[in-house]
Amino acid sequence: MDNSYTDRTWQSADGLTLHFRDYPGSDARPPVICLHGLTRNARDFEALAPHIAAQGWRVIVAEMRGRGDSDYSDDPATYAVPTYVGDLMALLDQEGIESFVSVGTSMGGLITMILATLQPQRIAGAVLNDVGPVLETSGLDTIKGYVGQGRSFPTWMHAARALEEVHGATFPRFDTEQWIAMAKRTLTLSSGGRIVFDYDMKIAEPILAADENAVPPDLWPAFETLAAKPLLMLRGGISGLLGEEAFAEMRRRAPAAAATTIPDVGHAPTLDEPEARAAIDSFLAGLA
């Protein structure tokens, strides 16, 4: 498989230089844009993106501000979904992309839903990976428990073991090699020689400062706008963030959508699982 891509950048409205990977493909169909989760980066799609590109799709893997090779923001308040949506629209405008197929994991799926309400014509189809209009409080609390802690490690094995301590219940079938691979996707070697998480620790500030008693926004209208498009919904079978009841309601409100549960995986499937890969392949084949 050809894993080649070009590292490219775009500018945010507030002057940040943001990074994306650009895998070449046909201009005769909309590109696929992969959007990562809260603490992740472009390496989350280092296996999926070339797999999709090998089927003739142009694939763009965007890194949101504060992650990977994208600039960090001086204002932590901009680490919020509305800002990420604006950043994504700036990328679409730069690249002259009128419509695209979104593959959104967790936060990336929220970005997709909000964009669908603002510019529905730009969504040619979407994959929502373990995310929906209703998120479980317990799952959100789990995320709050580890985001922004700023730990560092002397070796990749130490980093892998630390990830397993926190996320072992999410990926109960992972072996040591898979935990090391996960570490290399999630962390990076710092200039000081320590292995650190590859995101700005300040992304945690808006999340931890949020009023726990505030009424969450109603995202069902956003989901229903997206449900009018070709849609694939994925859920980890033991997900703590997207509950079974919410997933069932999503299927009820989007009866034309494809839906797949990935067994023995929590939040969120890596999209390298055979069940996830088969579902995505089938979905994209229906759009080609």
CA 217-238-149 angle, 5° bins: 65
On whether both 250 and 171 belong to a single domain, the answer is: no
pLDDT for 211: 73
Same domain flag for 115 and 194: no
- Is pLDDT of 145 > 60? yes
Residue 1 lies in a domain: no
For the segment 151-160, the average pLDDT, to the nearest whole number, is 97
Domain count, the chain: 2
**How confident is the model at residue 112, as a pLDDT?**
98
Token pair recorded at residue 150: 């700023």
Task: Tell me the pLDDT band of 3, cut-offs 50, 70 and 90.
Answer: confident
Query: Which helix (H) or strand (E) is 32 found in, with range?
Result: strand 32-35
CATH of the domain at 116: 3.40.50.1820
pLDDT digits (tens, 9 = 90+) for 16-59: 999 999 999 999 999 999 999 999 999 999 999 999 999 999 99
Task: Judge whether 80 and 206 are in contact, CB under 8 Å.
Answer: yes
Domain of 274 in residue numbering reads as: 6-144+212-287
Q: What is the pLDDT of residues 14-26, one digit of tens each?
A: 999 999 999 999 9
Indicate the pLDDT class of residue 209, thresholds 50, 70 and 90. Answer: confident
Task: Tell me the average pLDDT across 147-166.
Answer: 95
Residues 32 and 135 in one domain: yes
CA–CA distance, 35 with 25 (Å, rounded to integer): 18
Confidence of residue 210 (pLDDT cuts 50, 70, 90): confident
Q: Is 205 a member of any domain?
A: no
- Band of pLDDT at residue 113, cut at 50, 70 and 90: very high
Residues 135 and 117 reside in one and the same domain: yes
116 and 93 within one domain = yes
Q: Would residue 106 count as lying in a domain?
A: yes
User: Quick one: 113 and 163 in the same domain?
Assistant: no
Last residue of a domain, one of 164, 198, 232: 198
Looking at the structure, tell me whether residues 97 and 232 fall in a common domain.
Answer: yes
Q: Is residue 125 part of a domain?
A: yes
Q: Are residues 124 and 20 in the same domain?
A: yes
What is the pLDDT at residue 4?
Answer: 92
Classify residue 42: in a domain, yes or no: yes
Q: Half-sphere exposure of 110 toward its Cβ, with a 13 Å CA cutoff?
A: 18
From the number of C-beta atoms within 10 Å of its C-beta (0-12, 13-18, 19+), residue 14 rates as middle
- The percentage of the chain sitting over the pLDDT mark of 70, rounded to a whole number, equals 99
Query: 244 is written with which tokens?
Result: 């079974």
> What CA–CA distance (Å, rounded) separates 158 from 153?
6
Record the tokens describing residue 20, joined without a space: 């994306």
Residue 203 lies in a domain: no
Q: Among 32-46, 84-98, 132-146, 210-224, name the one with the lowest average pLDDT.
A: 210-224
pLDDT at position 208: 87
Question: Alpha-carbon distance 200 to 88, whole Å?
Answer: 19
- Is 185 found in the same domain as 97? no
Mean of all residue pLDDT scores within the chain: 95
pLDDT of residue 2: 60
Domain co-membership, 193 together with 235: no
114/158 same-domain check? no
Q: Return the pLDDT at 261.
A: 98
The whole-model pTM stands at 0.96
* Residues 6 or more apart whose Cβ sits within 8 Å of residue 249: 134
Domain membership of residue 207 (yes or no) is no
pLDDT value for 150 = 84
Question: Which pLDDT belongs to residue 140?
Answer: 87
41 and 180 in a single domain? The answer is no
Instruction: Note whether residue 204 is domain-resident.
Output: no
pLDDT for 148 equals 87
Lowest average pLDDT, out of 53-57, 133-137, 141-145, goes to: 141-145
